[in-house]
């Protein structure tokens, strides 16, 4: 596997550094203007001022800074995880998988049953720790493992898919049973969950085969990035409301598509995959939950994909949160909101139901 030189990670040119500084300096002015003009908008009617400020700040930095600048400013999955464990006085448990991939454990490492997560920011780790503790209240003890993998622009498809395969192989070799494993991916992580399923059904010669010892217990796709082309109506309709803008999604998607062979596009743009691409997916995973937000740019793509996917998997639930933004339930944990998104209890209930129900054989 050809991986980028680690010495390049987080290093910015002089122009990129100036752009990063300019983006940060302009943030207060943007927040004042944006909050003043959107605080009373209908989609913000049930949000606190603190949450509106958080959403606006994320929208500004993701639309102003490049991927390289964002990673330099906020760190990689590994640095975020290490800071989170320090801030929350949690154990730091890391499994090295090889090829620059790592499994990062949230809370106690457990191999009897668990959730395999794809990428996170610090407040997202806090969300999953909250879910873990809520499950423990129901006497359901679950291990949560986060995959730290190589990110764009330093790595291109199918490098992250190869790293996800390493993680699955590690978990199965360690004794994790597929019927006790639920895959969870948000945004690009949701895209990668679908890449994993696609690789099982339509193996690429460039990626080692993924073998599942049996059906996985579940797959949860949170605001999955199923279209990189940013052409659906919701991209313009929700532009300026969501934390990701139309321009940002279009630029990020173009960056990934330019390095993906057209013959492999079904792996990275699931909404445009052939009609029968996911036929047989019900044999690979018992149940699927797909969530999105009514005010996010990806809404129409998520709904279109979800409806198409349900034709191949009857145990699929598609939930669109009214006025929800991209990965909406995470955003409540960015500044410790007490009123949580409706998707938060749904996540707990759905995972709990999966671990308590009888798995398929």
DSSP label at 75? Answer: -
Closest CA to 198 of 230, 229, 157: 157
pLDDT, position 118: 60
pLDDT band at 23 (very low <50, low <70, confident <90, very high): confident
User: pLDDT tens digit string along 175-214?
Assistant: 999 999 999 999 999 999 999 999 999 999 999 999 999 9
| Maximum distance among all Cα pairs of the chain, rounded to whole angstroms | 57
Token duo for residue 273: 């995959």
Backbone angles phi, psi at 295, to 5 degrees: -110, 20
What pLDDT digit, counting tens, does each position of 207-252 carry? 999 999 999 999 999 999 999 999 999 999 999 999 999 999 999 9
- Looking at residue 322, its pLDDT comes to 96
| Poorest-pLDDT segment among 134-138, 148-152, 324-328 | 148-152
State pLDDT tens for residues 87-109.
Answer: 999 999 999 999 999 999 999 99
Query: How high is the pLDDT of residue 2?
Result: 31
The Cα–Cα gap between 283 and 296 comes to 31
| Average pLDDT score over residue span 137-162 | 91
Please give the mean pLDDT across all residues of the chain. 91
- Of 227, 224, 268, 261, the C-alpha closest to 246 is 227
Structure tokens at 94: 């890391």
């Amino acid at each position: 596997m050809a991986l980028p030189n680690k010495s390049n990670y987080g290093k910015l040119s002089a122009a990129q550094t100036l752009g990063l500084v300019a983006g940060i300096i302009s943030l207060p002015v943007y927040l004042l203007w944006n909050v003043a003009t959107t605080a009373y908008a209908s989609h913000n009617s049930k949000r606190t001022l603190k949450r509106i400020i958080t959403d606006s700040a994320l929208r500004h930095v993701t639309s102003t800074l490049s991927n390289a600048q964002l990673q330099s400013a906020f760190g990689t999955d590994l640095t975020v995880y290490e800071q989170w464990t320090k801030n929350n006085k949690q154990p730091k448990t890391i499994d090295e998988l090889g090829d620059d991939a790592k499994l990062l454990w949230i809370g106690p490492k457990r191999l009897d049953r668990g959730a395999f997560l794809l990428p996170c920011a610090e407040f997202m780790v806090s969300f999953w720790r909250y879910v873990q503790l809520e499950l423990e209240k129901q006497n359901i003890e679950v291990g949560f493992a986060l995959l730290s993998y190589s990110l764009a622009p330093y790595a291109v498809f199918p490098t992250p898919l190869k790293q996800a395969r390493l993680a699955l192989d590690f978990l199965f070799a360690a004794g994790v049973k597929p019927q006790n494993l639920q895959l969870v991916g948000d945004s690009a992580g949701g895209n990668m969950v679908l890449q994993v399923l696609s690789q099982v059904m339509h193996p690429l010669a460039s990626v080692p085969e993924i073998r599942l010892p049996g059906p996985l217990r579940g797959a949860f796709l949170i605001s999955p990035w199923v279209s990189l082309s940013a052409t659906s109506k919701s991209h313009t309709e929700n532009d300026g409301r969501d934390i990701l803008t139309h321009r940002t999604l279009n630029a990020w998607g173009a960056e990934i598509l330019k390095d993906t062979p057209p013959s492999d596009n079904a792996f990275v743009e699931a909404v445009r995959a052939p009609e029968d691409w996911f036929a047989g997916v019900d044999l690979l995973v018992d149940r699927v939950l797909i969530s999105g937000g009514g005010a996010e740019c990806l809404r129409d793509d998520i709904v279109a994909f979800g409806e198409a996917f349900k034709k191949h998997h009857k145990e699929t639930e598609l939930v669109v949160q009214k006025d929800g933004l991209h990965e909406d339930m995470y955003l409540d944990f960015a500044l410790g909101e007490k009123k949580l998104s409706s998707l938060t209890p749904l996540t707990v209930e759905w995972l709990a139901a999966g671990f308590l129900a009888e798995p398929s054989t």
